[in-house]
Amino acid sequence: MKLHEYQSKQYFAKFGIPIPKGRVAATAVEAKTIAEELGSRVVIKSQVLVGGRGKAGGIRLAKTPEEAQEVATQILAMEIKGLPVRKVLVDEASSISQEIYLGITNDRAERKPVMMASAAGGVDIEEVARTHPEKIIKVHIDPLLGLKDFQARDIAAGIDLPREHWRMFGQIAHGLWQAYCASDSTLAEINPLVITSDNHLLALDGKIVLDDNALFRHCDLAEMRDLDAEVDSEIEARKYGLSFIKLDGSIGCMVNGAGLAMTTMDIIKLFGGEPANFLDIGGGAGAEKVAAALRIILSDSNVKAVLFNVFGGITRCDEVARGILEAMDEVKVEVPMVVRLVGTNAEEGRQILADANMITAETLADAAHKAVAAASVQA
């Protein structure tokens, strides 16, 4: 689960990280009021759960409260990467002399959290990571010892931070580490952490990604979930306990098992197609769950074909087949469906689907090939 920028920054502030003054608004009139209260130039920032808002025009400065209202009106009417903007953060504007990146995430290979920093912060840290990986300083943190002072100093030195800021930078780095631990995050990030033109450090942007598996012990954070800001299909999937991630391709995938789901996506790409989603219906999924999954896949108008790849272990192929039929009763299926069933009760499963006008496949390669061909005919 992701927190919005305003939520992340408020959380960071509890751990001593300096953030700009400001508040969130749902209407342009509120934005104007906040700008009046702040009595300074403001920055109006769209609150959507995707990065790159700046580049998309979702972050703009305003000199007067009237201008703040006008800009807020425009931003509140925007859609950024398919997500409608429903709230804006109105912050006191800062003048920036340098933008720094500072973040913590899990390094699975090292089995440790890693703090990363770069003097080339601001937008597009991914681009920096690709083209100039040496500009990103990484320090692994021992989870038992926590972030040590010398590590924070090493990072400050590594990004050539002027000495006068090291104390404050240390405080911010420790605050970020504490925020990361206290919230059970998988990512806590400040991008940019700026040096203002009057020489202060300030967290202008904030991002927290919480570990869903630990949410049960963070009721206060779980309550911040903003359903309005999430993709409908992902909300629906969560209700049924399905692991679903919407993607941009044209082939809907229904698979049991995360590893098999990833393999299926890879092989679709290998045959020249693009998956429309990642979906793991899980072990032992019954007909009802399968029906829900199919509904969710077909609600995406990009989907031109559906590929079922089911390995019947605990999940029985005949159950899955019945689920597919059940779903086809409810949802109108207008795209070709390719099925590959192997394992427990596969024969019964195929029998059930034999009359349902579905394309059957023997191997995964065969299935991917047929799905890609079917999708390109439809497109």
Among residues 246, 192, 249, which one has the least CA distance to residue 368? 249
Q: Which does 52 bind (CB under 5 to 8 A by kind): ligand GDP, Mn ion, none?
A: ligand GDP
Q: Which does 175 bind (CB under 5 to 8 A by kind): Mn ion, ligand GDP, none?
A: none
Instruction: By CB under 5 A, tell whether 205 contacts Mn ion.
Output: yes
Task: Report the nearest approach of ligand GDP to the CB of residue 314 (Å).
Answer: 42
Among residues 265, 231, 234, which one has the least CA distance to residue 250? 265
Contacts of 64 (CB under 8 A, 6+ apart): 35
Task: Report the nearest approach of ligand GDP to the CB of residue 96 (Å).
Answer: 5
Q: Which does 22 bind (CB under 5 to 8 A by kind): Mn ion, ligand GDP, none?
A: none
Task: Write out the residues near ligand GDP by the rule CB under 6 A.
Answer: 43, 45, 51-54, 59, 93-96, 99, 122-123, 191-192, 204-205
The CA distances from residue 77 to 46, 58, 83, 91, 110, in Å, are: 10, 10, 11, 19, 44
Q: Rounded to an integer, what distance in angstroms lies between the CA atom of residue 175 and that of residue 181?
A: 10
Amino acid, single-letter form, for residue 12: F
Considering the complex, state which of residue 89 and residue 375 has its C-beta at the smaller distance from Mn ion: 89
Kindly indicate which of the ranges 169-177, 190-198, 273-281, 307-315 contains the residues binding Mn ion, using the contact rule CB under 5 A: 190-198
Instruction: Please give the sequence-ordered ranges of beta strands (E in DSSP) within 54-110, or none if there are none.
Output: 59-62, 79-80, 83-84, 88-92, 96-107
Kindly indicate which of the ranges 19-27, 146-154, 203-211, 361-369 contains the residues binding Mn ion, using the contact rule CB under 5 A: 203-211
Task: Report the nearest approach of ligand GDP to the CB of residue 225 (Å).
Answer: 20
Size of the site for Mn ion (CB under 5 A): 2
Q: Which of residues 8, 185, 186, 191 is near Mn ion by CB under 5 A?
A: 191
Kindly indicate which of the ranges 97-105, 132-140, 157-165, 204-212 contains the residues binding Mn ion, using the contact rule CB under 5 A: 204-212
Phi, psi of 309 (to 5 degrees): -125, 100
Task: Report the nearest approach of Mn ion to the CB of residue 313 (Å).
Answer: 43
Considering the complex, state which of residue 118 and residue 191 has its C-beta at the smaller distance from Mn ion: 191
Q: Please give the positions annotated as active site.
A: 101, 189
- Give the helix ranges, DSSP H, for the chain: 5-13, 28-38, 65-76, 125-131, 149-158, 166-182, 219-222, 232-239, 258-270, 287-298, 317-330, 346-354, 364-378
Q: Which residues face 323 on adjacent strands?
A: none
Residue nearest to ligand GDP (CB): 54
Instruction: By CB under 5 A, tell whether 189 contacts Mn ion.
Output: no
Q: What SS3 class is residue 61?
A: strand
Q: Which does 53 bind (CB under 5 to 8 A by kind): ligand GDP, Mn ion, none?
A: ligand GDP
Q: Rounded to an integer, what distance in angstroms lies between the CA atom of residue 180 and that of residue 222?
A: 15
Report the interface residues with Mn ion, using CB under 5 A. Answer: 191, 205
